[in-house]
Amino acid sequence: MELRVDPRPLLSMDALLDGNSEEAFLGVPQSVLDSRIAVLRSIPVKTNDAAAVNMSEKCQSAWRAADSSGTDPHAGCPKEDFYVLAIGLPRPGTATIPTGGVYRRDVGAARGYTAVTVVRTNIGPGGAGVTIFVCILKRAGPGWEFVTCIPLSYYD
């Protein structure tokens, strides 16, 4: 299954799920956006507007109710399955979690860890669904080490 990423930093999950691309993503200079796109393409990963996929008017999903016309609700869906990720800005952890955990929903990421919201939309011939995760990362030298992703909610 192909992975695509929206190169813009996710700002508002609610706006993303409402299909409002302008409010969903942090405005960044075109030079920063071009740089992010170049990095994604070098991996290689395609880019995609995550808000447009989430609010597809042509493909039945959690956000588009089935109509009663009797037509195929998935007729306008893409012929191939793919994922689109919208990735939020990192939030450094400040919580002290006594159990030694790295994340708790009520307090966020533990000290020494960073939380990132990731909205994954899967779309294809059978419709679309959305899963919202919080992913936990830890600094590892000049880069990052992936720790875990915790699913917060799922819409199908």
One digit per residue, the tens of pLDDT, for the chain of length 156 reads 899 999 988 887 777 777 777 788 888 889 988 988 988 898 888 998 887 776 566 776 655 555 667 677 777 788 899 999 999 888 999 999 988 899 999 999 999 999 999 999 888 888 888 899 999 999 888 888 999 999 999 887
**pTM for the full predicted model:** 0.82
Give me the pLDDT at residue 17, please. 73
Give me the pLDDT at residue 65, please. 59
What secondary structure does DSSP assign to 32-51, as a single string?
Answer: HHHHHHHHHHHTT-EE--HH
Evaluate whether residue 118 is within a structural domain.
yes
Give me the pLDDT at residue 72, please. 76
Evaluate whether residue 124 is within a structural domain.
yes
Evaluate whether residue 120 is within a structural domain.
yes
Round to whole Å and give the CA distance between 124 and 82. Answer: 6
Round to whole Å and give the CA distance between 28 and 16. Answer: 17
> What six digits make up the tokens of 149?
């992703």
| H helix intervals, 4-78 | 13-17, 21-24, 30-42, 50-54
Evaluate whether residue 68 is within a structural domain.
no
Evaluate whether residue 50 is within a structural domain.
yes
Evaluate whether residue 65 is within a structural domain.
no
Evaluate whether residue 72 is within a structural domain.
no
Structural domain count, the chain: 1
Give the domain range for residue 46.
2-60+78-155
Q: What is the dihedral of CA 21, 25, 26, 28, to 10 degrees?
A: -70
Evaluate whether residue 69 is within a structural domain.
no
Round to whole Å and give the CA distance between 154 and 29. Answer: 32
Whether the CB-CB separation of 43 and 87 falls below 8 Å is answered with: no
Round to whole Å and give the CA distance between 118 and 5. Answer: 10
